[in-house]
Amino acid sequence: MGMAYALGIPRGFKYVRASTVDEALKLLNEYGGDAKVLAGGMSLMPMLKLRMTEVKYLIDILGINDLRYVKVEGNYLRIGALVTHNDIAMNKLINDNAKVLSESAWHIADIQVRNLGTIGGSLAHADPAANYYPALIALDAEVMIRGGIGTERTVKVSELYKGPYTTDLKPNELITEVRIPLSGFRGAFMNSLGGGVVRHSRVLS
């Protein structure tokens, strides 16, 4: 197969669908570092097609309905990992309590990408040009992470990001929730891109 033909077609992998968080965790633990989860696929699919990454097992988590919610509970705004960019841009609870996050979602790509891309996927992918990191760090947000069955940990978004495309996540871990303290923080989001990185990203309060 010629190179030009190979590019654009991912290497072969086994596709598995998980319908609950426990099922996804079980598969991740079983397959170890040979597996990745697929959420909206907006970053992972292009990387697989360009062969910038490869997997033996792809665990599709998009059907896990338990990871799609936005609610206020305790002193937190809680957003499930599979909530899409469009929902974040338009959700009233998020608009009322974390407007800077809604604004950062409006600035992501186009309607197609916003329809499928998820907040958990964006944080896990850790593109240095990603919109959510500056907004969530300003909001002092944290993520809930699950690894082995029954284990859960919380990490500040400011600690999750370790560098371009690098996070504190282990291969068997799943981001399940983004948690924002209800601090009354008010701000505005704007950014400007240049050369594939965020040159200026400002959260003004």
Ligand X SMILES: Cc1cc2nc3c(=O)[nH]c(=O)nc-3n(C[C@H](O)[C@H](O)[C@H](O)COP(=O)(O)OP(=O)(O)OC[C@H]3O[C@@H](n4cnc5c(N)ncnc54)[C@H](O)[C@@H]3O)c2cc1C
Residues interacting with ligand X, by CB under 6 A?
Answer: 36-44, 46, 81, 108-109, 113, 116-118, 120-122, 124-125, 127, 130-131, 169, 174-175
* Residue 179 beta carbon to ligand X: minimum distance, rounded to whole angstroms: 14
* Residue 184 beta carbon to ligand X: minimum distance, rounded to whole angstroms: 25
Residue nearer to ligand X on the CB measure, 30 or 182: 30
Residue nearer to ligand X on the CB measure, 54 or 96: 54
Buried b (16+ CB within 10 A) or exposed e, 159-179: ebbeeeeebebeebbbbbbbb
> For residues 179 and 78, what is the distance between their CA atoms, to the nearest angstrom?
5
* Residue 2 beta carbon to ligand X: minimum distance, rounded to whole angstroms: 26
Residue nearer to ligand X on the CB measure, 2 or 196: 196
* Residue 49 beta carbon to ligand X: minimum distance, rounded to whole angstroms: 11
* Residue 197 beta carbon to ligand X: minimum distance, rounded to whole angstroms: 11
Residue nearer to ligand X on the CB measure, 40 or 187: 40
Residue nearer to ligand X on the CB measure, 2 or 180: 180
Residue nearer to ligand X on the CB measure, 46 or 182: 46
Q: What is the DSSP string of the chain?
A: --HHHHTTSPPP-EEEE-SSHHHHHHHHHHHGGGEEEESS-TTHHHHHHTTSS--SEEEE-TT-GGG--EEEETTEEEEETT-BHHHHHH-HHHHHH-HHHHHHHHTSS-HHHHHH-BHHHHHHH--TT-SHHHHHHHTT-EEEEE-STT-EEEEEHHHHEEETTEES--TT-EEEEEEEE------EEEEEEETTEEEEEEEE-
* Residue 1 beta carbon to ligand X: minimum distance, rounded to whole angstroms: 25
Give the single-character DSSP code of 171.
T
